[in-house]
Structure 1
Amino acid sequence: MHLEELQWFVVLAETEHVTDAAAVLGVSQPTLSRALARFEDEAGTELFDRVNRRLRLNAYGRIMLEHARRSIAEMDLATERIGSLRDPDSGRVRLAFLHSLANWYVPEQLRRFRQAAPAIGFDLFQGPAHEIAERVRTGGFDIGVTSPRPDPADFSWHRLYVERLCLAVPRGHRLATRARIRLSAAAEEPFVALEDPFGLRQLTNDLWAEDDIDPDIVFEATEIPTMEGLVAAGFGVAVVPVPREGTDAKVVHVPLTNGRAKREVGLIWDRHRPLPPPAQRFADFLADGGNLMR
């Protein structure tokens, strides 16, 4: 199987439509159909189910898609490593990071790094922890800045800093004047939380379990600012990291005394695949920054 055919297969698997895939790839529909036939012949089985003139990736196709993406990523990595050896101060870093780090940590680190290595470019992805881990695992991205730590069987990890978790409550709430509390003090409150399987939601689930809380979840959000906004509006309380700056004056953040009320933010990369030199350089830069403790 040629690399071009692998790339065609990935596009076809993502669109599940020959006409749409052909348009994306800039080839004719018959050409793509013949390539798919050859690809399935080499695989020894059909990789799509044909349903009402559309394609549906089947179990065999999903296996092939996973390995095709890895193969393409490996070839991209080889090209990048060769280019980096020829010019170690250039190349690109594919970086994935949490939504909640987009307004301070990641921009600041990028600014500092680019002062030292202005010719190195970045491809960025902002998303939840489970998507970051998947994109790094499949080779789509080199490194991720995430929390909590993913499966150590698949990922290497370097802790960057630790932040405490707190309970966000509306101003005027009965708990707003407390200097610090255990989460059990809010056991009867309605909660605003992130959706499963977001990383902060996993940590919140652990805290609820630790204090034997069966939470009344009134809304599941996809970003922390949404949680804060709903808390300010009086919809409920929320477990969030201690804020840095620019917080809503209508929200009070009460530190939690639970031993597990912290979020470790760290750097991950696939332990089975060497980092391209630009990504290794950026990873070393982040690791040398030391741990920040809030």
Structure 2
Amino acid sequence: MHVEDLRWFAVLAETEHLTAAATALGTSQPNLSRSLRRVEDAFGVALFEREHRGLRLNPYGRIVLEAAQAGTAAVDVAQHRIDSLLDPQSGTVRLAFLHSVASSLLPDLLKAFRAVGPSAEFALRQGAAHDIVEDLENGDAEIGIISPRADPERFGWHLLEQQRLALHVPPGHPLASRRRVELAAAAAEPFVGLQPGFGFRRISDELCRAAGFTPRLAFEATDLTTIDSLVGAGLGVAVLPSSAVRGGDSGAVAVPLAGVQSRREIGMTWRLRASLTPAAERFQAFVRSRPVIST
């Protein structure tokens, strides 16, 4: 028994007449009779009472009709959802991204893509890099925007942005007036940083070690915007990437770091052994066509 058999059964149940149902379905009476036989064989009972003028749905048939209508409706919904996913123009892109790109890189990408693909939909997930990798692995996301790069054996990578690093200090801080500053000059300052496990926390810790000190953490946050706000409030200083807190009004002053070659790299990533939906493939191709940003 196939879904089409249930559709034909529903039409026959409504007309209760073999000839009328066959005409409505555009098929022959023998074809419709064989289809009905498959449905009845599947349930193990007759579903109609045969009468001189036609058919009459019996109690078993009414139960099957209710199930057939619900089942075919569910199948139609599923097919519609699959068709939507398979449409590169109007399908849904499941995209996960870092908190720190939510006010800069991400909206720029979405705005540019919607200009060429206005019918596309996005299912967005926001989180830390390790959460995004987990989303990609379990299929909750198809594409991620992360830093640092994930395992190259399992994940593809395309560089999107290279961000210079700066020391953010409170307004009026003695270092705020400098054009550039050595990180070692802040060795005695309290720092505001990300919690352990975040990718950028590793970068900032490595920079401090290279400058000859271990930072004294006044507070550990979960996103860069919060760090910038706390620096602006005078809680401490922080190493932050340029443009990560674009448009912020914390009052914190960003002083470029001298003698630091490190850059924070933001990239697009995807699971190598997973197939992207057509909409996600289209978005990926669009993003790959754009130049790398250096800030």
Q: TM-score normalized by structure 1?
A: 0.68
The structure whose Rg is larger is 2
Q: CA deviation at 1:250?
A: 2.6
| Per-residue CA distance 1:65-115 (angstroms, 9 max, x = gap) | xxxxxxxxxxxxxx8996379643221100001111111221221122122
**Match of 1:225?**
225
- The question of whether the paired residues in 2 share the 8 Å contact of 1:161 and 1:292 is answered with yes
**Match of 1:270?**
271
Partner SS state of residue 149, structure 2: coil
Whichever residue aligns with residue 194 of structure 1, its letter is L
Partner SS state of residue 126, structure 2: strand
Q: CA deviation at 1:143?
A: 0.5
Aligned-partner Cα distance in 1 for 2:203–2:153: 20
Aligned-partner Cα distance in 1 for 2:274–2:222: 31
Whichever residue aligns with residue 286 of structure 1, its letter is V
Is the alpha carbon distance of 1:250 and 1:111 closer, same or farther for their aligned partners in structure 2, counting shifts above 3 Å? closer
CA RMSD of aligned residues (A): 2.2
- The question of whether the paired residues in 2 share the 8 Å contact of 1:149 and 1:266 is answered with yes
- The question of whether the paired residues in 1 share the 8 Å contact of 2:95 and 2:142 is answered with yes
Work out the percentage of aligned pairs sharing the same amino acid. Answer: 45
- The question of whether the paired residues in 2 share the 8 Å contact of 1:84 and 1:278 is answered with no
Aligned-partner Cα distance in 1 for 2:266–2:282: 19
**Match of 2:252?**
251
**Match of 1:59?**
none
Matched, 1:290 2:291: yes
- The question of whether the paired residues in 2 share the 8 Å contact of 1:80 and 1:91 is answered with no
Matched, 1:203 2:203: yes
**Match of 1:173?**
173
Write the mapping of 1:42-81 to structure 2, written as runs, cut at 5 A: none
Which region of structure 1 is more displaced relative to structure 2, 146-155 or 239-248?
A: 239-248
| Per-residue CA distance 1:6-50 (angstroms, 9 max, x = gap) | xxxxxxxxxxxxxxxxxxxxxxxxxxxxxxxxxxxxxxxxxxxxx
Whichever residue aligns with residue 290 of structure 1, its letter is P
**Match of 1:14?**
none
Aligned-partner Cα distance in 2 for 1:229–1:87: 42
Q: CA deviation at 1:235?
A: 1.2
Is the alpha carbon distance of 1:219 and 1:249 closer, same or farther for their aligned partners in structure 2, counting shifts above 3 Å? closer
Structure 2's unaligned 5+ residue stretches are 1-78
Q: CA deviation at 1:182?
A: 2.2
Q: CA deviation at 1:246?
A: 2.6
- The question of whether the paired residues in 2 share the 8 Å contact of 1:142 and 1:279 is answered with yes
Partner SS state of residue 247, structure 2: coil
